Amino acid sequence: MKDYRSLWKKPHLVAAVMAGTAGVLAAAALGYALLGLGAPVSAAGAAGQVQEGPVEGYGAADHQNDEDTLSFRLNASPEFEKGGKNGGFYLENPRENRYDLQADIELEDGTVVYTSPVLEPDSHIDTVDLDKELEDGTYPAQARLFAVNPESGVIVGYVLQPIELRIGNTD
């Protein structure tokens, strides 16, 4: 388990949330468009499987981020089947990033319910299974997105993105 107290937060990476927020909104719209409101999530690959390229329906940027910018794309309202299975997280590390990307999903109390594999630039994950089973309901949470130096594997900073988990029947 990660000890977040030993990490430092790079304030200028927080500014990069603006780029990520656009991606979050776009990914949420994509999820609803592809899946339909309330429809079960279907995966192109196995849950948690890293795939090359951007999330389906999105193009890659034609620029390279500087070392103080972290772009990302994710679904801000992923829907999961009963127990937290097969949720449309749509986490993407765009090719313009200089850093690898790793994400944790944390509940409000700090409990980490999912940890992604490290994603190299120009890769993504469509669906995930939570690491901890949750009862049906809606859970306010956050994604902690780590910028990881691809050469050393050292975390150089992170940004926080509010999300809402929807588990099972939330009607």
Q: What is the pLDDT of residues 78-116, one digit of tens each?
A: 999 999 999 999 999 998 889 999 999 999 999 999 999
Q: What span, in angstroms and rounded, lies between the C-alpha atoms of 52 and 157?
A: 24
Q: Which of 105, 98, 99 is nearest to 164 (CA)?
A: 105
Q: What is the pLDDT of residues 18-33, one digit of tens each?
A: 444 444 444 444 444 3
* 52 pLDDT more than 90: no
Q: What span, in angstroms and rounded, lies between the C-alpha atoms of 96 and 21?
A: 16
* 158 pLDDT more than 80: yes
End-to-end CA distance of the chain: 34
**Over the range 81-114, which residues count as b (16 or more CB within 10 Å of their CB) and which as e?**
beebbbbbbbbbbbbbbbbbbbbbbbeeeeebbb
Rounded to 5°, angle at Cα 79 from 78 and 81: 140
- Contacts of residue 19, defined as CB under 8 A and 6 or more positions apart, other chains included, come to 69, 70, 71, 72
